[in-house]
Amino acid sequence: MTTALPEFVHARSAAHHKLLEGMRTVGGSISGLVDPYQDPEHYWENRKLDYKLVSPLNRRKFTVIVVGTGLAGAGCAAALGELGYNVESITFHDAPRRAHSVAAQGGINAARGRKVDNDSLARFVKDTIKGGDFRGREADAWRLAEESVRVIDHMEAIGAPFAREYGGQLATRSFGGVQVSRTYYTRGQTGQQLQVAASQALLRQVAAGTVNLHTRTEMLDLVVADGRAQGVVVRDLVTGRIRTITGHAVVLATGGFGNVYFKSTLAKNSNVTAAFRAHRRGAYFANPSFIQFHPTALPVSTEWQSKTILMSESLRNDGRIWVPKQAGDPRAANDIPEEERDYYLERRYPAFGNLTPRDVASRAARDEIVAGRGVGPLKNSVYLDFRDAIGRLGQKVIAERYGNLFEMYEDATGENPYEVPMRIAPGAHFAMGGLWNDYDQMTSIPGLFVGGESGWGYHGANRLGANSLLSACVDGWFTLPYSIPNYLAPLLGEAKLAADDSAVVAAAQQAEADVQALIDIGGTQGPDRFHRRLGDLLYDKCGVSRSGEQLAEGLLAVNELRDEFYSDLRVEGRANGFNQELERAGRIADYLDMAELMCLDALDRDESCGAHFRTEHQHADGEAKRNDDRWMFASAWERGTDGYVRHQEPLEFVSVPPETRNYK
């Protein structure tokens, strides 16, 4: 049963709708599938057969620009280069292997079914769609499952040292939201080892001359001419020089935007600039409010902390999560007896226990902390305890599985997790939303493709752990190398844009003016101060849970902060040289606009689903309450001169009928 809402809540809701009406209009339906009524299980097989091809001798006539060198970008550039295309690979890092894919720790999923635990492609799809709370594209989940089998073999073949069982077979473990063992891993360094392998494959093509690598180079804008993406504007981060690179197609594999929260698990340089500047050029942005908070991040220990640190979800295989039953318990963890501990995930979700999906685990941790049962100096965390696992398996086995993670934890906190429980808390992590793309990974701008976390289709409203590395590898190695030639084939004989084309010159001039405008503000506050304030605002108004009232307040607060940014920003130094303050200022300008869109999308979507938890919409037991009759679609936002237009892609589920998520 639901309790009737008080009248003042209805009054506030009316005010929220009025605010929405002033900021957005509703557009029509869009489709990401060529045939939305085709069987999703065989869609990928049939789609590949329909693709147009480019013959080997014609491939060198095309140039593809790939921005980003993480698993999606490096894989795409290496695969296209090996096929014979000319590739311009762009990264703001000093080497491709430094891309943020290295930070993923726990593993990569694959439905190879090597264990006798009843796993299958269909079960993988069911877990993925249910884990995303029925807000992802079903056909995409089937492609992810099908190609997952090839991904593991491919990555092992190019050098990823996956863990093995005693007999030599590749080892697996479990991750949140599943009851089988399908996660392949390299201790707690899976992302790093996969990234090293992908970077080596990329550099092999650089040596072969098919890939031209641009390091320390940041994308500032997209060149759109004749209605399609035909180049990018970039800035050399060492010299400050702004120039253009043109091609027949552009791929954005630039990661997610979790750093909008300032304190996040992402590297400090991770940003939304490339994607959002493409959005300003006309690319739709899908589900921007779908942000995952990782339940096993390290808690904030001081207000001056610059970021949070990720601890792998794989730790939840052997670690048990608990809080003291007594609120405000002052005792050290090891002094609290067993009967006075609440293993709340095991109590609330006995079927999945500590391996509940991330959104569920994060909300449960938040509930315990808000109720006063948080632990640690700031009472803002919960315990992740390995006492029982060490007693059962021995410290040597735990060290073999998680040794580098334990070392990292001790380096960060000064506490030995073999002796005392870890302390963890939800932290901003992964963006399920991204630039809207169709099934071919092409955005609403023809010729502009996305890969990895820059897209939206696989994960719905919540990503299952270890599907991130998988989706990046699938896009980079096995989707984009098929779909991009299908787009290029009709362009055979067309030259790429000349450097003096009016669209190219105009885009470069606009980028130069925008950069100089930030320096010319001449205010008193550095860019990081605005970023920190924005992050605090979003954690409060658009965090693990959010209400209509909070989101409306957040929208107004973001606009006020943006006005202050453009009147009081201080950027030291000059534009034509090495200037990290200038880099940050440009990225934070985009974060401010991104934050507005996130709050708008969250306020607009008047339901709870996955990581988007509106407190007005929950079941009696506190779980998220979807509204499939009203909201079973992906929101695709178009940025207009007078506000936003929300288009919608209807979502249908054939192989996995919608149901209420239940992990009990």
List residues with catalytic annotation.
Answer: 358
Reported in sequence order, the residue ranges of 443-498 that DSSP labels E, i.e. its strands, are: 448-450
Structure tokens at 89: 């690979």
Whether residue 398 contacts residue 314, with contact meaning beta carbons closer than 8 Å, is answered with no
Q: How far apart are CA 79 and CA 100, in angstroms?
A: 20
In this structure, the strands spanning 382-385 and 285-286 are unpaired
Q: How far is CA 376 from the centre of its chain?
A: 29
Look at residue 7 and give its three-state secondary structure: helix
Q: What is the largest CA-CA distance in the chain?
A: 75
CA angle 210, 216, 219 (to 5 degrees): 80
Q: Which two tokens stand for residue 387?
A: 């006492």
Strand-pair partners of 249: 64
CA distance 291 to 459: 11
For residue 125, how many C-alpha atoms fall within 13 Å in the half-sphere facing its CB?
23
Residue 532 tokens read as: 């920190």
Instruction: Look up residue 654 and give its amino acid.
Output: V
Coil, helix or strand at residue 281: coil
Q: State the virtual CA torsion across 175, 180, 186, 191 in degrees, nearest 10.
A: -50
Provide the sign of the torsion angle of the four alpha carbons 117, 120, 122, 128, taken in this order: positive
DSSP label at residue 168: S
Strands 217-225 and 228-236 turn out to be antiparallel
* DSSP state, residue 95: S
Q: How far is CA 494 from the centre of its chain?
A: 35
Provide CB contacts within 8 A for 395, sequence distance 6+: 418
> Which neighbouring-strand residues pair with 634?
649
Question: Tokens 């997610």 identify what position?
Answer: 256
Residue with tokens 């702004």: 242
Tokens standing for 274?
């490339």
434 strand-pairing partners:
286
Which amino acid is residue 585, in one-letter code? A
Tell me the one-letter amino acid at 80.
Answer: L
Assigned token pair, 374 = 């948080």
CA distances from 622 to 1, 276, 284, 542 (A): 12, 34, 33, 18
Contacts for 344 with CB less than 8 Å, ≥ 6 apart: 321, 322, 323, 364, 368
Residue 345 phi, psi dihedral angles, 5° rounding: -70, -40
Cα–Cα distances in angstroms (integers) from residue 531 to residues 276, 372, 421, 521, 561, in the given order: 17, 29, 32, 17, 10
